[in-house]
């Protein structure tokens, strides 16, 4: 099942964006085999493994990539793989003897996906970093937050997952499509700085056009506008309003009882703080449930601000099965959706090395080879 059915992917285990890309590709039907460190393999089933949502859908083998026979085993896997994903600092895979040139000598059709924060080259390529640093350098972090206050990290959604893992998955699929005509693989250099910069494209455009102010919290989409913001309700919950277009704004005024008032024009930026104060007072007059009864499903562009524990129970999310439960853990379902070849979660998360014998056998290793590798300490 899934549009990537038949594609074989090797994922060198890592953190954050690499596993997210592998999860997305697995959800779409690819056979993704995670290569965990042999030293990470433990006897029995580790506690809490079902909660490792980013690791769902893949089998795991334990291979020592610092052992010569472990490297040889990896190269044997690479010979029949379509894609390899790794998330080390630049040069690490080369030092292990598994860099792109070596791997493509073994398999010219291999798509070699590389996930880093800063990229494979540049002055910062070897520096440590995290999501907050990458989105800061790309100009995204400075734009997020309230006016007159410090920037607010948007979880690690923008760098790790949007600009990182999702861009890597996109790049891998693009390279697979191109391989269909050229017959050759290529290296995908997915850097979180680059991906975050791409996500910022419309804001660079609006800044160039003179309709976006670099002072955060003063613009149309950053909480500066009173009609694109969140408001506290009487019960201490919150609702979100996105009444940007004229007709949607008119409905907002009608449903809040402001339609008959003599108000400043919608796009009069000097009046936005005053209008926000009016809406703040109005929204605090009713509970979130009462505002849902009034506005949900209307053209106000409205939604309650739900917590992660609340979101799966919302009627819209239930109707679309936006969330699923795997091994007792509620988590997002595969996305996007396909009408002929829908994605699916093939299995829950795997512990390191859980499928070493099973998966390596499926990938062409003979029993005596597995015994030899295990005796040598190259697999576990």
Distance, CA of 30 to CA of 288 (rounded, Å): 42
Q: Which of 27, 55, 160, 229 is catalytic?
A: 160
Nearest to 65 by CA among 104, 97, 34, 91: 97
Question: φ, ψ for residue 152 (rounded to 5)?
Answer: -115, 120
In 3-state terms, what secondary structure has residue 242? strand
Distance, CA of 230 to CA of 357 (rounded, Å): 52
Nearest to 57 by CA among 169, 142, 162: 169
Distance, CA of 323 to CA of 297 (rounded, Å): 21
Strands (E), the chain: 8-12, 31-37, 59-63, 83-86, 111-116, 187-191, 228-232, 238-242, 302-304, 323-326, 329-332
> Is 130 designated active site?
yes
Residues 95-101: contacts with CB under 8 Å, at least 24 apart: 96/65, 96/66, 96/71, 97/71, 98/65, 98/71, 98/74, 100/187
Q: Which of 67, 130, 146, 314 is catalytic?
A: 130
Q: Which residues are catalytic?
A: 130, 160
């Amino acid at each position: 099942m899934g549009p990537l059915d038949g594609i074989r992917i090797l994922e060198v285990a890592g953190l954050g964006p690499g596993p997210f890309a592998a999860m997305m590709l697995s959800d779409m039907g690819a056979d993704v085999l995670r290569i965990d460190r042999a030293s990470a393999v433990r006897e029995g089933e580790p506690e809490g493994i079902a909660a490792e949502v980013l690791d769902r859908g893949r089998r795991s083998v334990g291979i020592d990539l610092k052992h010569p026979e472990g490297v040889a085993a990896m190269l044997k896997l690479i010979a029949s793989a379509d894609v390899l994903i790794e998330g080390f600092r630049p040069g690490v895979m080369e030092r292990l003897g598994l860099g792109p040139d070596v791997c493509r000598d073994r398999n010219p059709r291999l798509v070699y996906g590389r996930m880093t924060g800063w990229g494979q080259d540049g002055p910062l390529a070897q520096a440590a970093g995290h999501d907050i640093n990458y989105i800061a350098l790309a100009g995204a972090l400075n734009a997020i937050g309230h006016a007159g206050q410090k920037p607010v990290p948007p979880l690690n959604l923008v760098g790790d997952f949007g600009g990182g893992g999702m861009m890597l998955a996109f790049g891998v699929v693009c390279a697979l499509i191109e391989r269909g005509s050229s017959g050759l693989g290529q290296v995908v250099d997915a850097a979180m700085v680059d991906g975050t910069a791409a996500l910022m494209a419309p804001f660079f455009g609006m800044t160039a056009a003179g309709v976006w102010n670099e002072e955060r919290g003063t613009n149309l989409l950053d909480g500066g506008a009173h009609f694109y913001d969140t408001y506290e309700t009487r019960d201490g919950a919150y609702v979100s309003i996105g009444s940007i277009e004229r007709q949607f704004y008119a409905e907002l005024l009608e449903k809040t009882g402001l339609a008959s008032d003599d108000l400043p024009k919608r796009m009069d930026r000097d009046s936005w703080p005053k209008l926000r104060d009016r809406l703040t007072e109005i929204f605090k007059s009713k509970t979130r449930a009462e505002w849902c009864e009034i506005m949900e499903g209307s053209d106000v562009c409205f939604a309650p601000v739900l917590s992660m524990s609340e979101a799966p129970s919302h009627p819209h999310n239930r109707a679309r099965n936006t969330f699923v439960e795997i091994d007792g853990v509620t988590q997002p379902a595969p996305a996007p959706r396909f009408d002929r070849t829908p994605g699916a979660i093939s299995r829950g998360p795997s512990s390191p090395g859980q499928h070493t014998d099973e998966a390596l056998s499926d990938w062409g290793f003979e029993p005596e080879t597995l015994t030899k590798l295990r005796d040598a300490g190259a697999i576990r």
